[in-house]
Each structure stands twice: as C-alpha cells, then as structure tokens.
Amino acid sequence: MEPSNETTVSEFLLLEVTQDAELQPVLFSLFLSMYLVTVLGNLLILLAVISDSHLHTPMYLFLSNLSLTDICLSTATVPKMLANIRTRSQSITYAGCLTQMCFVLISASLESFLLAVMAYDRYVAICHPLRYAVVMNPRLCGLLVSLSLSVCSADALLHSLMVLRLSFCADVEISLFFCEVVQVVKLACSDTLVNTLLIYFATCILGGIPLSGIIFSYTRIASSILKMPSSGRKYKAFSTCGSHLSVVSLFYGTGLGVYISSAVSDSSRRTAVASVMYMVVTPVLNPFIYSLRNRDMKGALRKLIGRIPSLL
C-alpha cells in the first residue's frame, strides 16, 4: 500500500439506518422506545434485587449484574444511532469510535461470562443442593463477577491499544450501526495480522470458554433432572432454568447470527439487521423473560412499584 493512500483519520462513517426520509422518524421513535424500555426494565430488576432481602442470593446477584451489563451495552450503541438518525449524519469521531468499541467489547464479553456463571449457579443448586450454600458463598460470587469484569476490561483495552497502532485509508465507512472491532480493523491500510490473530484468539477464549461452561452445566443438570423420581421435582428444576436458557439462546443465537451473516453474506444491510437484534432487541427482552417467568421476581417488582407512589 502506498503511503500516499493513507490519511490521518478524524472520524468514521457508520451505516445509515435507512435512506427513506419518511421512515426515519418511525425508526427513531421505535429505537428510542426500545432503549427506554431496556433501561427502565433492567433498572427495575436491579432495584428490586437491591430492595428485597429475599432476593439477596447468588442467582439474583448475577441477574442484577446482567441487567447492569445490558444497560451499558445499549447505552454504548443506541444513543449514538438515535443521534445519527435525528441529525441525518453518520459520522462518529475517531476517539468516539474507539470508546464505543471498547465498551461494546466489555459489555458483550461480560454478558457471556455472567451467563456462564449463572449456569454454574444453577448446576450447583440442582446437582448439589446440600452443598449450595457452602459452594456459592458471597466471597466466591464476588470473585467470579470481579474476575469476569477484569478479564473483559483487559481484553477490550488490549484490542483498543492494538487498533491505535493501525493507519487507515480514505475509505472509513463501517458496515454496522456502531463501531465493532472486526469492522474497524477491516478498514486499516497497515498490516492487521496481529490484530486478526488477537481477535480470533480472544473470540475462542472469551466466547468458547463460557459457552463450554454453559453446555457442561446444562448437560449435568439434564442428567440429574432425568434421574429424579418425582415429576413435580423435575418440573420445578426445569422451571428454575427456563428463564436463563431463554436468555442464553437469545444472546448466543443473535450473536452467532451477526458473525455468520457477515461471513456468508456480502450484504452489509443483512449484517446490520442481525446486529440490531443483538444490540437492541436482546437487552430489551431480557427483563421481560426474567420477570414474567419468575414468581419471586414478579413479587419483588410488585412491592417496588407499590412503594414508588409513597416515595414520590
């Protein structure tokens, strides 16, 4: 690549949501509503867990952290997308792009780890109920959350530093609504071999290990449930895992959809639609999944909502 083809990049261009001027207000209202529901729904779960002493258990501790992660993931991407729709400008500054990329990496990988930790929590509760209080003690729960956050933050920081060493060409159009590390690296003019290897390595470790842990946990859970003599106990055991399995399927299903569509399809629009499902739809559905399928959570939310008028 000739040096004359390289330039100092001050901004990137994100994919336009729609080129139809009449459709833009509709999409703006839709995405704004979904974002507000995401923040409000996950915030209510977070407050319900904090305010209700009956929910001060490992499962709800992890759930509150998952809700906080969903808020961060949506906040890292949706407000900028809304601003671009409103101003009809697709630009994002270089520093803003790297910042967004960093927070997306932290939030997405942390959600993967939290889902794995929640699967382990269900495994211990169902397969080793008598040892549950000893194994899932507050110290271990805090260590698991802290370690997950530290690993994800270090990975995001490393990716960001590796992007800083790259030089970019005049073509700075990203094929998504937000800055994503793979798409940013694709725009570089300089050698990206180290970045590409790091991306594959991090994906295998930060994606493969949590997913393997989830599969292992639910394999053992299924085996333990099938051995239970009582159908009532089987139903209760399955019901405690239903919400988590739904969230896992939604998270990994939409996440795989983004990368499969980008790998097998030349259409940036299809990839972008899949990314909206991953970044916007999944966080907005998680509060409904956990609140509608969980009796304790529904009870805590009723108490919390009932207390709001008196607080006002």
Q: Are 9 and 94 in contact (CB under 8 A)?
A: yes
CA atoms within 13 A on the CB side of 140: 14
Distance between CA atoms of residues 202 and 181, nearest Å: 12
Distance between CA atoms of residues 274 and 257, nearest Å: 6
Is 3.40.50.10540 the CATH classification of the domain at 10-311? no
Q: Which of 4, 41, 178, 42 has the alpha carbon at shortest distance from 105?
A: 178
Per-residue pLDDT of the chain (312 residues; tens, 9 = 90+): 444 444 567 889 888 877 777 888 898 999 999 999 999 999 989 988 888 888 888 988 999 999 999 999 999 999 999 998 888 888 999 999 999 999 999 999 999 999 999 999 999 998 898 899 999 999 999 999 999 999 999 999 999 999 998 888 777 888 888 898 988 998 888 888 999 999 989 988 888 899 999 999 999 998 888 887 777 777 777 777 888 888 888 888 877 776 666 555 555 666 677 777 778 888 888 888 877 667 777 777 777 777 766 555
**164 class by beta-carbon count within 10 Å (0-12 exposed, 13-18 middle, 19+ buried):** exposed
Q: Are 98 and 80 in contact (CB under 8 A)?
A: no
Distance between CA atoms of residues 287 and 145, nearest Å: 20
Q: Is the pTM of this model over 0.95?
A: no
Q: What is the DSSP string of 74-131?
A: HHHHHHHHHHHHHHT--EEEHHHHHHHHHHHHHHHHHHHHHHHHHHHHHHHHHH-GGG
Taking CA atoms, 182 is separated from 76, 103, 203, 222, in Å, by 17, 14, 11, 36
Domain boundaries, the chain: 10-311
**229 class by beta-carbon count within 10 Å (0-12 exposed, 13-18 middle, 19+ buried):** exposed
By DSSP bridging, strand 168-169 and strand 11-13 are: unpaired
Angle between helices 94-127 and 231-264 (to 10 degrees): 150
